[in-house]
């Protein structure tokens, strides 16, 4: 199934296996994921492998995770910065940033008032919000045909 709208994007969140990774004492007091960053990165590696094998996109909802500022900084450091950035204005402002890991995109959505509503790591070849919806493509074709008709230009055979 091709996803074409923000509300069509399914989100899968898996709890970090905290028993496998001890929380360092300096992180335990500050809250956040602590050793869970390693679990999150491991999950991202698994999702990248699935994407490469079956072209199945997925996403992790960062707002559902108890990330501290240190966790966020570490995640951003490890994922790095990619070459692509995009801004989309549709029912609020969305920003899409390619990370330094091909196939992982940092996507933030805000409502019309500028309040954050979603923050995702999308594991996909291209984030769904950047992909044109087929009904919108069909409408654009009809608009161009109408403009051509208004100009008196005949349709090529």
- Look up the pTM and report it: 0.71
Strands (E), the chain: 58-61, 81-89, 93-99, 104-110, 116-123
Q: Angle 15-16-19 (CA atoms, 0-180°, nearest 5)? A: 120
Residue 6 has pLDDT above 70, yes or no: no
66 CB-side CA count, 13 A: 12
Q: What is the model's pLDDT at position 20? A: 41
Please report which confidence band the pLDDT of residue 36 belongs to, taking 50, 70 and 90 as the band edges.
Answer: confident
> Among positive and negative, which fits the CA dihedral 125, 130, 133, 138?
negative
Read off the pLDDT of residues 75-113 as tens digits, 9 standing for 90 and up.
999 999 999 999 999 889 999 999 999 999 999 999 999
Q: What CATH fold (topology level) applies to the domain 6-130?
A: Ribosomal Protein S8; Chain: A, domain 1 (3.30.1370)
Query: 71: which 2 tokens?
Result: 């966790």
CA distance 135 to 82: 31
pLDDT at 32: 66
Q: What is the mean pLDDT of residues 107-127?
A: 95
Percent pLDDT > 70 in the chain is 75
Q: What is the pLDDT of residues 52-79, one digit of tens each?
A: 999 999 999 999 999 889 999 999 999 9
- Average pLDDT of the chain to the nearest whole number: 83
């Amino acid at each position: 199934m091709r996803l074409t709208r923000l509300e069509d994007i399914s989100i899968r969140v898996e709890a970090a296996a905290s028993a496998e990774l001890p929380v360092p004492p300096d992180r335990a007091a500050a809250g956040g994921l602590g050793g869970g960053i390693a679990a999150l990165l491991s999950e991202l590696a698994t999702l990248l492998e699935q994407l490469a094998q079956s072209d199945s996109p997925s996403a992790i909802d960062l707002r559902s995770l108890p990330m501290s500022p240190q966790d966020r900084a570490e995640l951003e450091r490890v994922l790095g910065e990619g070459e692509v950035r995009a801004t989309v204005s549709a029912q609020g402002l969305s920003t899409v940033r390619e990370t330094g890991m091909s196939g992982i995109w940092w996507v933030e959505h805000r409502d019309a008032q500028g309040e954050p509503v979603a923050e995702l790591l999308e594991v996909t070849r291209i984030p769904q919000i950047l992909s044109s919806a087929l009904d919108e493509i069909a409408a654009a074709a009809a608009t161009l045909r109408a403009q051509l008709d208004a100009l008196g230009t005949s349709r090529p055979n």
